[in-house]
Structures are given as C-alpha cells and as structure tokens.
Chain A
Amino acid sequence: MEALKNLQVALRREAGPTLFLLVLGAVGVLVPLLYFIVPETSAFHLSGYTVTLIAKYMSYAILAMAVDLIWGYCGILSLGHGAFFALGGYAMGMYLMRAIGSRGVYGDPVLPDFMVFLNWKELPWFWYGFEHLWFALLMVLAVPGLLALVFGYLAFRSRVSGVYLSIITQALTYALMLAFFRNDMGFGGNNGFTDFKDIAGFSLQSPGTRVVLFLCTVLVLGASYLLCRFVVSSRAGRVIQAVRDAENRARFLGYRVEYYKLWVWVLSALLAALAGALYVPQIGIINPSEFSPANSIEIVIWVAIGGRGTLYGAAAGAVFVNYAKTFFTAALPSFWLYALGTLFIVVTLFLPRGIVGALTAAAGRSGWRRRTAL
C-alpha cells in the first residue's frame, strides 16, 4: 500500500512534466514532418505560416515560464517582463538589420535604412559589433541581464516588494517604450526594425531556415523548462519558495534574501530575453509597442490562466491564450479583449490554480493516474 501511495504521489508530481516534454518532443518532430513531407494537397499539411505561428506561441511559452519562475515561485509579481523580452528582441533585430547590408531600400552597405532616412552619416557606437551574430547573441543576454541586475539590486536591497515593485516594473517598461519611440535613440523610432533578409547567411524566407529556427525554439523551450525545474527543485528553489511564503523567516534563518531574489530575477530576465531573440527573426518585426505595459500584464494573465507555480502550466497558458487570441482576432476582432478579460475573471474566481491546477485536481479525484499507472 505504501509503495502504491508513493507512486501516486510521484506521479501526481511527475505526470505534468512528462506530458509536457512528450508534447514538446512530438511537436518538434511532427511539425517539420507535416510541413516538409506531407504534400500541400493533404489536409494534414502545415503551411509555413502555421509553423511560424507555433514557434511564436512557443517563444511566448518561454516568456511565460520566465514570469512563472519569478512570480509563481518567488512571489515577485513583475508587470514589466515584456521589457526584457523586447530588449532581447531588439538586440537580435540589430543583427538582422546589419545583415541586410546593401539590400536595403537606400542601398547603404553599413547604415540601416532608417538611419539613412534620418540623414545620419555614420553608425552610432552602440551599433558596433552587431554585424556578428555571436556578438548579437551575447548582447541578447548581456543587456537585459545587466538591466535586471541593476534594477533588481536597487529594488531588492531597499526591500521594495509587493505592489510597489509591480508598479515600478510597469514604470520601467513604460519608460523604455517612450525612449524607444524616439527617433534619436537610434533604434528606428516607432517603426522599429523590419524587412529582415537573412540570418547567418541563410534566407529567412526559406523553408529550411524556418524549420531550423522553429527547432531552435523547441530546444530553447525544452532547455528552459529543464533549467527552471532544476532550479526550483534544488535547495535554492526551496529557499526561493520559502522567501515567497515567509520572507522574514528566511532572512532570520541566515539566507541573504535579496541575493536569492536578485539571482532568480536575473535568470528570469535572461529567459525572457532569449524568448524575444527567438521571436524577432521568425515574426520579422520588432517595434516599441513590445514594451507597452499592457503586453507585460498580458504575460501575467497567461501564467494565471495556465496555472502558476508549475512552469509547464505557464507554458500551456501562453499557448492556449495566444491560440485563442489568433482565433478571436480573426473571427471576432472586436471581441478579443472582452474574451480575455472574461477568461481571466473566470479563472481567478473558479480555477485559482489555473487550468493545469484544475486538471490535476480533477485527474487526482477520478483516480485516472492510478489506473493508467498500473
């Protein structure tokens, strides 16, 4: 009996993660197959648009996981994670702009189109190095990571927490949005970056590049999940959750609470930045609206709807809500925000642990796991 109970407990803990990785693996295998092998006449054929759409959902899933790590496990409600996502996206976008080279409308070999349009004569210093992909990838992590480090250090050291922290994260992303809207910032103003041609010498329009980027997204999502899971199931993860539940107690036990917060905050920002860097080459555009406070709030809604504190729930929530968004904005465009609002209220009132939490509870009640396990 004891063994059976242990198994049940283990499965209750493990079923979600296993299912998540299986689904992710299946998506990674099936989507390229359905895109490449299945003929276009077949009902099972996936268009390039669909492949990219799924990749977009998955990069949102990474972003949601980053927010779940900091919110669900450490209790820090960030309403500004869109900023890290957008900064990662901009760093990648700068590379993609430089990679256009002389194929731009104005044909300048060095300056991106918008700089020529603004009558700039030479490249600003902060654009140096972005002709190399490796440098851009480094900056994808370094810039948001550094911002998170400085912001987090100041906020956590002065023990800013709760709703005050949420408000200043909103202010952070809002300030960045206003800054990036300005033409003289040197990031393309309100048009941002677009018209990308290729990445590492491969055309962004070619099916091969599309699938490779898709697979990169699958891999990063899987790796992010495993990394987050490693973190939350380590002792450090237990400390982080202890900080969430009783911060002062953790401090009295001798834990440097602010360093734990800072550490997980920076990790979360780095994941968000990676998500942004994967998003931009596939979607083909980045502009300051990605910094808008509403975007960051929406990420939190994905996590809440999916079920916070599970990681895979956040990923599922991101995919589910964004699929619904794609559907509604095509079918009933004016209805989407009402649908999102209603969904959020319904989940908050009736499914406080989100869709995944409700499913887990339902499966536990029906004994579904025990039967499938035996």
Chain B
Amino acid sequence: MIAPLDTPVTAGVQKAIQGMVLYLEGITVRFDGFKALDALTLYIEIGELRCIIGPNGAGKTTMMDVITGKTRPDSGTAWFGQSIDLLACSEPQIAQAGIGRKFQKPTVFEQHTVFENLELAMAGNKSVWRALFARIGPDQREKIEASLEMIGLKDRRGDRAGALSHGQKQWLEIGMLLMQEPQLLLIDEPVAGMTPHETERTAELLVSLAGRHSVVVVEHDMDFVRSIARRVTVLHEGRVLSEGTIDEVQNDPKVIEVYLGQ
C-alpha cells in the first residue's frame, strides 16, 4: 500500500506533488478490444473543484469506475493521496479510505427516512457486530444535523426518502457522501433532470464543498459547468483532450472540432 520511492513522476508534476489527492497515470481499460480509457493521465489537487466533460463514450464513467474500484484497468497506476494504491483496494476499502461517489441516477434507500439514510452513510466502523449495538451519540447526531442543514432537508428528516423529489434525492445523496467525510467526492451528472432553481441550489452546494473536499464533477450542462468550475478537463476517446479554465477549453480548436464534428 505504501508508494514505492521510484514511482515514475514527470518533472512538471513533481512541484505540485504535495498538493495532490488523486493520481491517475497511463490508465488503460479495454472492453472486448475497445479502449474505453487509453493511457489516461489525470491529477486532482486537494480542495479542487474539477469538472470533467466530454462526448458520450469519452470514458468519463469508466474513469469513475476505475477510481472506485468497480473496474480494474488493464494497465496504469492509480494512487489516492501519497500512500493508497487504489488498484490494490476493494470497493469498500476505497470507500472507507475517503472516496465517495454519487451515481448518475439518485440511489438513496427509499424505504428509509432521510435521517436514517444519513445515519447509514456515517463514517465509522461498518462491521456487523458494531452495527448491531450501535447507538447514535450526540456528536453523531450533530453531524447528521449539520448535513441536513447543508443539503436543505432539515424539515424532511422523518420522511421516507422515496417520497422526496428528484432534486432532493440528489441532495440527500450528496449529504450521504458528506457523512463519510470523504477527501474526494466523485459526482456524476448532478443536475440532470433538475429544475433551474434546483440546479442553482446544487451549484451553490458544490461550490461550498470545494476547499473542504476535492470534488470531481462529470456534467454535460455547459452553463452549469461555467457556473461552478475553475478547472475543466475534456475527455475524448479515453484520453485527456484539453485542460484549463472553461474559456480556454471552449476556445481550444481540438475541443471545437470534437464537439462540432459530432
């Protein structure tokens, strides 16, 4: 699990190495000969809010799958912080280590209340035996309350999560991620299907998370990306096509070609 000292690091990265939370280097994933990721290299800084965009099939979801351990790459390295080799960890280990993932479709526990959803998501020992005798302590209750406040669902705490609107479910899921006190949040299309008002609230929420957490957002909605992102990465055919501020990226001829060529 400890990074060997001779891990290959390029000169440009050397400078920033202390400030990185995620390193993906040369990640290649093949599905039946098709390269979903093609030697993808990507670094995420601590506290950064990064948007990943790209046309369908660019490898965005596969990249998330690699980071969370759902998909094993054919080659490449993936490190979380300085000491955790993601490729050697199981999915639960990765979640425990501090990477939280929000799926495209909101998946909350519909039969449980909003409060119980947050309780289940709380960081801590997840063994059966502990869970059998677990009680919610005052500090834990405080944490849940803080999350409820943050995602704006304080009044809905006792309601079944299945009764929430689509946007509220998305927020609840983000709240559940926060309960795990993750260093890195992976968020897949958070505003798909949201009303303009919900979209606005979500943007505020994500911006307020950055700094305390590193946040990676995959999103199609360019207006939304413009409203939150400082740095944007464009993926295309499993590689990084362009990286920079939203204006730099939108004026990059390579990006224009890919998007207009479609």
Contacts and interface: CB of A to CB of B under 8 A. Distances in A.
Interface of A: 231, 234-236, 238-239, 241-242, 245-246, 248-256, 259-260, 263
B24 to A, nearest CB: 19
A256 B112 contact: no
B56 to A, nearest CB: 22
Given A236-B128, A238-B120, A253-B121, A248 B107 contact: yes
Contact of A254 (B95, B108, B109, B112): B95
Given A253-B120, A255-B92, A231 B176 contact: no
From B101, B109, B119, B134, name the one whose CB has the most chain A CB atoms within 10 angstroms: B109
Contacts of A254: 92, 95-96, 126, 180
Interface string B124-149: 00111001111000000000000000
A234 B132 contact: yes
Contact of A239 (B92, B111, B120): B120
B132 A253 contact: no
A235 B131 contact: yes
Contacts of B111: 241, 245
B128 A263 contact: yes
B252 interface: no
A121 to B, nearest CB: 47
A252 B180 CA distance: 10
A25 to B, nearest CB: 27
Contacts of A245: 109-112
A242 B120 contact: yes
Given A235-B134, A238-B116, A254-B96, A249 B107 contact: yes
A255 B134 CA distance: 14
Contact of B101 (A235, A242, A252): A252
Nearest to A259: B128
Contact of B176 (A234, A235, A248, A253): A253
Interface string B87-122: 000011001100011010001111110001001110
B91 to A, nearest CB: 6
Contacts of A248: 107
Contacts of A259: 127-128
B233 interface: no
Contact of B133 (A234, A238, A256, A260): A234
A251 B91 contact: yes
Nearest to B99: A252
B92 A249 contact: no
B77 interface: no
Nearest to A255: B126
B137 to A, nearest CB: 12
B132 A249 contact: no
A255 B90 CA distance: 12
B28 interface: no
Nearest to B110: A245
A246 B109 contact: yes
Nearest to A243: B109
Contacts of A236: 128, 131-132, 134
B193 to A, nearest CB: 18
Nearest to B162: A245
Contacts of B120: 235, 238-239, 242, 250, 253
A260 B68 CA distance: 21
Given A234-B133, A235-B134, A254-B126, 6 more contacts: A238-B120, A245-B109, A252-B100, A253-B121, A254-B180, A259-B127
Nearest to A256: B92
B149 to A, nearest CB: 21
A263 B95 CA distance: 22
A251 B180 CA distance: 13
Given A231-B132, A255-B92, A259-B128, A238 B119 contact: yes
A236 B103 CA distance: 24
Interface in B34-77: 68
B132 A241 contact: no
Contacts of A242: 109, 112, 120
A235 B119 contact: yes
Contacts of B127: 256, 259
A235 B101 CA distance: 22
Contacts of A238: 112, 116, 119-120
A71 to B, nearest CB: 15
Nearest to B135: A235
Nearest to A262: B128
Contacts of A231: 132
Contacts of A263: 128
B128 A253 contact: no
Contacts of B109: 241-242, 245-246, 249-250
A277 B231 CA distance: 67
Contacts of B134: 234-236
B132 A235 contact: yes
A274 to B, nearest CB: 20
B43 to A, nearest CB: 23
A259 B128 CA distance: 7
A256 B119 contact: no
A246 B107 contact: yes
B176 A260 contact: no
A251 B92 contact: yes
Contacts of B107: 246, 248-249
Contacts of B95: 251-254
A310 to B, nearest CB: 13
